[in-house]
Structure 1
């Protein structure tokens, strides 16, 4: 009986995912590894959907982080950004990203740290106001609630949402508050495909308040994976 339920729910989630499409096109190539992308999310279903997407950045591909749970994720981190998936066409294997940090001198590091500290203080003020307004007691929960609510796309049935963004596969920022970033190491003699992946775990919506959920009652909460088309590049 339990096995049948698992099969049913797996089929149901895959069915929902297939009703929401993700399409990516390269609008412009700025330099090696740097592109301006046009990204379109289309709701093919008859239902209105809530789809959380961070349209300000991306995540690099680490197998353990593709569908990581937000409660295990430190903030700030572009948890809701689409994952960049790069495949080596010759080996048919996916490339894992590499963590990196910017190499700056001591003077630059001090200036950058001051800017980051200032930005973090401003962010804290925003979260404190948000926490009071939305009546959320726990500060970390308020952070995640704010991040989720500011990155929700309300996509009505048979409608699309399109945005443009720059992608740099050698500089994938985890946050605007850190020097840490991720990058891919490519071989100039090889050909690659890249695609984008969005993965939403239903547990994410536990960070919404009851009041917020009531305001969104005309929309269904999207859960599952959306994988875009493949684009070949060298």
Structure 2
């Protein structure tokens, strides 16, 4: 009986979430600068809330498939993940660069800019805490602010569609100003690489929302799970 119940639940779960899909296509291209058209499609009979940072991409880390806000300070955890395959048809890991050679003047300018950005953001989080009466430390409130502001409404039989630039040479995700390093992919020039996009949401992230915030979306289902797009070819 338990096995039958498990099979039924598994079937319902997979049927439900297989009706939410993602499609990516090349809208335009100039040299190695791509404009991608990204569509998240809801073919189900349910209205969803899904967190997507449409302003950013996210690198693929094998140990961090779903968003966990571990790198939140300099990293868009809810950005759509891009996965690139190598010649062996394996997913490529992002690499951490060595130190960039910057002058003392450049480092001071970066530090000054970073401090000003942090000051503005901390003031924003302070106001956010007052607005929603959120308890906890700064990081928890920061996560709440980021998560809430990335929530998108995905109505039944509708889609979220947007255009997003993609240039493998100029993504600048996860730039660590303190160490002057960044993440990148080692790609050969003039070689086609298969790439697809992925959304991965753990249901636990909604624990970062307050009860009042959740009630704002009464009647909607909070999406959790993994969505993978079709493959496209890119080259450096």
Say whether the fold is shared (TM-score over 0.5). Answer: yes
What is the aligned partner in structure 1 of residue 230 from structure 2? Answer: 229
- The 3 A distance-change label for structure 1 pair 182 and 5 is farther
Deviation at 1:166, TM superposition (A): 1.4
Deviation at 1:27, TM superposition (A): 2.0
Aligned equivalents of 2:111, 2:147: Cα separation in 1:
26
User: For 1:147-190, what per-residue CA distance to the aligned partner results, in whole angstroms no more than 9, with x for missing partners?
Assistant: 01111111111111111111222343335784543211112364
Query: In structure 2, what is the equivalent of residue 86 of structure 1?
Result: 84
Q: State whether residues 59 and 172 of structure 1, in contact with CA within 8 Å, keep that contact through their aligned partners in structure 2.
A: no
CA drift of 1:230 comes to 0.2
CA distance in 2, matches of 1:7, 1:63: 29
Q: 2:85 aligns to what SS in structure 1?
A: strand
**8 Å Cα contact 1:61/1:96 also seen in 2:** yes
Q: Which residue number in structure 1 is paired with residue 149 of structure 2?
A: 150
Gaps of 5+ in 2: none
Match of 2:25 in 1: 25
Alignment partner, residue 43 of structure 2: 44
Structure 2 residue 131 is the aligned partner of structure 1 residue 133: yes
Q: Is 1:35–1:167's contact at 8 Å kept on the other side of the alignment?
A: yes
Specify the alignment match of 1:106 in structure 2: 104
User: Does the 8 Å contact 1:120/1:177 carry over to 2?
Assistant: no
Deviation for aligned residue 1:108: 1.4
TM-score, length-normalised on structure 1?
0.88
Number of residue pairs aligned between Structure 1 and Structure 2: 231
The equivalent residue for 1:206 is: 207
**Structure 1 counterpart SS, 2:58:** coil
How many angstroms apart in 1 are the aligned matches of 2:185 and 2:167?
A: 10
- What is the alpha-carbon distance in structure 1 between the residues aligned to residue 14 and residue 232 of structure 2? 23
Alignment partner of 1:97 is 2:98 = no
Contact preservation (8 Å) 2:20, 2:40: yes
TM-score when normalising by structure 2: 0.88
CA contact under 8 A between 2:19 and 2:42: conserved in structure 1?
A: yes
CA RMSD of aligned residues (A): 2.3
Show the 5 A alignment for 1:187-206: 187-188=188-189, 190-206=191-207
State how far apart, in whole Å, the 2-side matches of 1:233 and 1:171 are.
14
SS in 2 for 1:35: strand
